[in-house]
């Protein structure tokens, strides 16, 4: 049993929540580079929360320029036990209109310009992401969303695209043919890196548009996306507050907490000291074992 420390990756105004107490901005250095922004740390309903504006305050960072490794590492260094992600998404299905909140349970990663692992030559590791989200977190977020009055849909496959451009119509139709439900630019490699860092991860996507597959639908435009995000914003803040209030007093262990126990491949005597030094926060638990 332990204390919950919830990391939240989301929009730059998400941390402005009623009841967010003793909040302060804290700069966290990471050996993986510069995180998107300082961390906003405080308590909601007695639970410690660590907010990270994904694109930086003022939305200054493009999706491909996000330093996801530094972001996840900074949250780990701040003591986070679990991560929830809130992000804008496009819909690839008629039954998921703008304004819907989707608690995603699967991903297809089509990004290609991002560093996707903390591990590599000098310390090889392979973690399973067969089931990339934490069912416990997802269920609690879904329940909290309904209490907050959000229009929640449970489950869905998220197509992670590189961006920053929106899809072509042919791409959008292809993703639908694959069985994808929603599309976005930021969930990968966040989910993969959270798993490597042994932090359970869950994502709530806020539908802003129908992408471009739908006959008669206007092309995706930034002003329409921003308008829908603003409409969703208050519900997202209520969701986070309800989630905080619903958490059990103590945190039971999760199988995700120990995934590195069976993931490290490189023999101890062959491990690169420089890479080990960068991995000090990520591997602290597993490499501290006798």
Q: How far apart are CA 112 and CA 1, in angstroms?
A: 39
- Which of 181, 209, 218, 272 is flagged as catalytic? 209
**Statement: residue 290 has pLDDT above 60:** no
Averaged pLDDT, 5-15: 89
250 burial (CB, 10 Å; 0-12 / 13-18 / 19+) is exposed
Mean pLDDT of the chain: 94
Q: What is the DSSP letter of 122?
A: T
**Statement: residue 1 has pLDDT above 50:** no
Q: How far apart are CA 152 and CA 141, in angstroms?
A: 10
On whether the pTM is more than 0.75, the answer is yes
What digits encode the pLDDT tens for the residues 81-139?
Answer: 999 999 999 999 999 999 999 999 999 999 999 999 999 999 999 999 999 999 999 99
In this predicted structure, what is the pLDDT of residue 217? 64
- What CATH number does domain 85-287 carry, 3.40.640.10, 1.20.1300.10, 3.30.2130.30, 3.40.50.1580? 3.40.50.1580
**Statement: residue 257 has pLDDT above 50:** yes
Respond yes or no: is residue 257 known to be catalytic: no
**Statement: residue 282 has pLDDT above 80:** yes
What digits encode the pLDDT tens for the residues 185-208?
Answer: 999 999 999 999 999 999 999 998
Q: How far apart are CA 174 and CA 177, in angstroms?
A: 5
- Which of 105, 131, 211, 223 is flagged as catalytic? 211
Query: Among 2-16, 235-249, 264-278, which stretch is predicted with the lowest mean pLDDT?
Result: 2-16
Parse the chain into domains and list their residue ranges.
85-287
What digits encode the pLDDT tens for the residues 132-169?
Answer: 999 999 999 999 999 999 999 999 999 999 999 999 99
* C-alpha dihedral (277, 281, 286, 290), degrees to nearest 10: 60
In this predicted structure, what is the pLDDT of residue 216? 73
Respond yes or no: is residue 209 known to be catalytic: yes
Do 48 and 6 touch, CB atoms closer than 8 A?
Answer: yes
In this predicted structure, what is the pLDDT of residue 11? 82
What digits encode the pLDDT tens for the residues 51-68?
Answer: 999 999 999 999 999 999
In this predicted structure, what is the pLDDT of residue 179? 98
């Amino acid at each position: 049993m332990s204390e919950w420390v919830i990391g939240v990756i989301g929009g730059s105004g998400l941390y402005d929540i009623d009841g967010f107490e003793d909040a302060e901005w804290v700069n966290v250095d990471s050996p993986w580079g510069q995180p998107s922004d300082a961390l906003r740390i405080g308590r909601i309903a007695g639970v410690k929360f660590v907010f990270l504006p994904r694109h930086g305050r003022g939305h200054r960072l493009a999706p491909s320029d996000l330093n996801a490794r530094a972001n996840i590492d900074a949250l780990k260094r701040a003591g986070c036990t679990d991560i929830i992600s809130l992000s804008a998404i496009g819909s690839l299905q008629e039954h998921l209109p703008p304004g819907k909140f989707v608690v995603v349970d699967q991903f297809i990663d089509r990004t290609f310009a991002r560093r996707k692992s903390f591990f590599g030559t000098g310390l090889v590791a392979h973690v399973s992401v067969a089931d990339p989200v934490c069912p416990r977190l997802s269920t609690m977020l879904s329940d909290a969303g309904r209490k907050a009055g959000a229009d929640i849909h449970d489950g869905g496959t998220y197509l992670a695209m590189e961006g920053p451009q929106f899809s072509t119509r042919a791409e959008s139709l292809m993703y639908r043919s694959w069985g994808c439900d929603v599309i976005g630019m930021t969930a990968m490699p966040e989910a993969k890196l959270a798993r490597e860092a042994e932090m359970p991860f869950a994502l709530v996507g806020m539908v802003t548009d129908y992408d471009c597959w739908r006959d008669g639908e206007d092309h995706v435009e930034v002003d329409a996306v921003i308008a829908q995000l603003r409409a969703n914003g208050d519900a997202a803040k209520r969701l986070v507050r309800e989630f905080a209030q619903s958490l059990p007093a103590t945190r039971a262990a999760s199988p995700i907490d120990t995934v590195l126990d069976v993931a490290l491949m490189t023999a101890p005597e062959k491990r690169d000291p420089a890479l080990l030094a960068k991995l000090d926060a990520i591997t602290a638990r597993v490499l501290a074992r006798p």
